[in-house]
Structure 1
């Protein structure tokens, strides 16, 4: 009797909001995860009405619907890694935290808290719930400078303040923190990775002159999750993900998609689906 080989693939679950224009949210996550050779799954947490010019409205997804989506995925395809994006109310924070308390895998949390125009997208009590419940459960959080400023209660706009803020966030119970430097007003961008009981790691890149950065934070966090699903060490996962997003921004700088801030070129150098032969 001929034995037919069977294969597995690295799986990544995105728990995040929607973007009908395709540049951010679960759409950016799915593109990124796929471009990096992993299999993407989604749980929808919110229905923003948005395009490249901004968010027009946000409709809530019932908490029970989110729970049932999680049930459907976990009953069938156990994710090797999870990316969490928009979680905009306390009930969702409590649900996701409780649901993942026994999860065996890496969790990347991109705390979507502030809009591009600087407005808070979630209330202070929800932010505190994220800090209390989700931060200790996640492998890494990936805030930008606006979000870090909200989390530490002061303006963070330079590398020296980023270094102080990273220590503060570790003290809040995070296992590790990547403070993204994409909003620095400098030609050279610096991102810092903080881990418990370790010195910060510094990642530098040249700033790309492009308005097509819509969904870059979503893409970075899902890229890190994709590398962690492949069992990469955290620092290596972060470095690879930062390089991926940098090249995706570079690959889209001359594209005209929409009237506002366009998306990244997620498929600038796509990988084939990674397959592993199953052990018998």
Structure 2
């Protein structure tokens, strides 16, 4: 177990290898580390990589499971002024502490997604962005390969409450992992900037299948701006009376500049 946790944290250190100079277009905005996707979008022709790891301890039906995602990589690109495209892929491992269950590991399905801007914030009317995503099983390892393509659609919303605080929330629906039913999704995240570099958040979210018991979760965490284009994050969370005992996530996000000759650091 210690060796596997060391590998988990080592995978985070490897992700520090992405560096480039910066252009002053404001601080980076990310969709990680929590479950709430941001309503903000990538600037036109800008590329951003968001990556990290997740460790979860799950329990149910007489067994304990260690679920480790070594690399949750998302590549985001501003294709048009009002259209963002994304591609994501991850490598994961599930270890079961039960003699009748076999551990598994491999790559997840390939996810391709878009964000389309709907409206900017107008008073109490939130900023809104439409997110849609397809999950293609052909790219997954045998242990994680589904028979059908998954789909998810969310409306991403955000209200800036003050210069330091904001409320972000998602409403959506998905059909993933060969499920015979659709599931509804909600997320609600409150964010507060302590300083220009340090931000904190608290979140609740849920997955609500049509014919099964809903699963509700909460988490807290923070982000740290190393520079305008480079952000580190950390999260801790657990479930409300469900299989998840706890989860820990940490990661890095980097936005590549179109013009490396113009650099700007957060001060």
More helix by share: 1
Q: Which has the higher contact order (CA 8 A, sep 6+)?
A: 1
- If the length of structure 1 is used for normalisation, what is the TM-score? 0.31
Give the structure with the larger strand fraction: 2
